[in-house]
A and B are shown apart, each in its own frame.
Chain A
Amino acid sequence: MQRKVDAIIADFPILARPTSRGKRLVYLDSAATSQKPRVVIQALVDYYEQYNSNIHRGVYEIAERATAEFEQARVKLATFIGADVPEVVWVRNTTEAINLVAYSWGNVNLKAGDAILVTELEHHSDLVPWQLLCERTGAELRFIPVDDRGVHVLDDLDRLLDGCKLLAIAHVSNTLGTIAPLETIVPRAHAAGAVVLVDGAQGASHLPVDVKALDADFYTFSGHKMLGPTGIGVLYGKRALLEAMPPFLSGGAMLRTVEYAHTTFSEPPRKFEAGTSNIADAIAFGVAADYLRDVGMDWVREHERQLTGYALQRLAEFESRGLAIYGPRDPARTSGVISFNVADIHAHDLASILDTEGVCVRAGHHCTMPLMDKMGWAATARASFYIYNTEADIDALCGGIEKAARVFGV
């Protein structure tokens, strides 16, 4: 495993660059965005240097290549999640994918008296679009509760699903790492007549995902959290749903015929891809998906499970000095995310001191303010792992925590 990780690390140019203080870069913020391997960066350069042109229109050689590479990237992403190719819609990111569903599917299918069900640990991106949809339609927003370790409580699920038209649920919590029990929840939601959207922003990057096996109606994820560039993501939707949905944004590239008074639209996925797409980033996202396929998503999952186990064990050494670990303590139920605080050191102070040691962690509310309020945490520090992290990175994190504890006298 170590040789494989060493080979992976060598593929990421940024990991070879020391910080301004001469420290090794210890990147533990992949839940925010992942680093990029050289092949992904090169794919961007190749597009702009060799065949930059618009897609689906030009009849010359470089435009045909751009179109082919762009559509081939769609095939790669479809294969990556087990979808049919026309079910993969390019979007900017997970947030845009969720908003697309909230407006296009939600405006037509929700009405007063209906309910939308989410969980208490959703990222703001999988909460606020549904709040606004409820405001537009008069639907009611309900919540699957989580316990004090951030684990879903399903005791009331049938009652919560009664009258529910949509369940929107994070595959993996970005704050606590909790893996949602989709195999239990999704069939029950379907039995109750609800459509299921899975927010896969932290899922597709870290777990093997087969949307058909999950039986998700929509699955949303971002390229930049899984080795790809920013500005490109995927909305997966079951074909029948996408075909029935009206367009979200309208304009060029998504039309069949246009008259002055009337327009007919393309079939999915292009019906939802108005305007010139993010061509280079989509192509590079395809390269990132290939990279992860070669590494193997089962390997990714096992690597992160082992790292999480090691990190929980090392961090536990600080518990007598006031370190508190939040979220599930079982690496089998989490996905490479650990939230914690150290005594009365504010998470931002801790993160600033860790930064002086080259250790990058996130500190704050992690875009889950309602969850933080419920738990009574003002802020937490969050370390998150990916394929290029090692036990040495966790040792560096612990060294930084030791320094912070010394500075603050805890």
Chain B
Amino acid sequence: MDDFYRDYILDHYRNPRNFGTLENADVEAEDLNPLCGDQIRMQLKVDGDVVRDLRFSGKGCAISQASASMLTEAVKGMKLSDVAKLSKDVVLENVGIGISPTRMKCAMLGLRVLKSAAIGELAGWPDED
């Protein structure tokens, strides 16, 4: 965890990208991590099968919020069907290594919510797939 709190992580925490809510979202989902109370909601505007725009909102630790923020940048323009197939690696590539096992759920919450929005039902935890 020593290396985790790097400048760009803290930048995403302090200045989350695509943060807020969307009027008339086509799909959306939200969930929380009961262990620590992190909450994330994801709303997507979809054109055909393509994610045209998205917003996330929520509260929680730097790991959950920064991971969600970076994820929103990664999936804009992506096909919804591909979003549904994203693995935990997309998050781990964003946030780097060094997340301790107990904090993995924090990092994966945003992806879980995003995939839930894409498939229209609550997705499993990406780190348990």
Contact = CB atoms under 8 A, between A and B. Distances in A.
Contact of B36 (A345, A353, A363, A409): A363
Contacts of B59: 378
B100 A352 contact: yes
Interface in A349-370: 349, 352-353, 355-356, 363-365
Nearest to A348: B61
B68 to A, nearest CB: 14
A75 B61 CA distance: 48
Contacts of B1: 352-353, 355-356
Interface size class of A (residues with CB under 8 A): 10 to 19
Contacts of A353: 1, 5
Given A346-B60, A349-B62, A409-B10, A356 B36 contact: no
B36 to A, nearest CB: 5
B108 interface: no
A346 B61 contact: yes
A379 B36 CA distance: 7
A407 B5 contact: yes
A246 to B, nearest CB: 35
B106 A348 contact: yes
Contacts of A408: 5, 10, 62
26 contacts: A21-B2, A346-B60, A346-B61, A346-B62, A347-B36, A347-B61, A348-B36, A348-B103, A348-B106, A349-B5, A349-B61, A352-B1, A352-B5, A353-B1, A356-B1, A356-B2, A364-B35, A364-B36, A378-B37, A378-B59, A378-B60, A379-B36, A407-B5, A407-B10, A408-B5, A409-B10
Q: Report the 7 A-B pairs with minimum CB-CB distance, sorted nearest first.
A: A346-B61, A348-B61, A352-B1, A349-B62, A407-B5, A349-B61, A356-B2
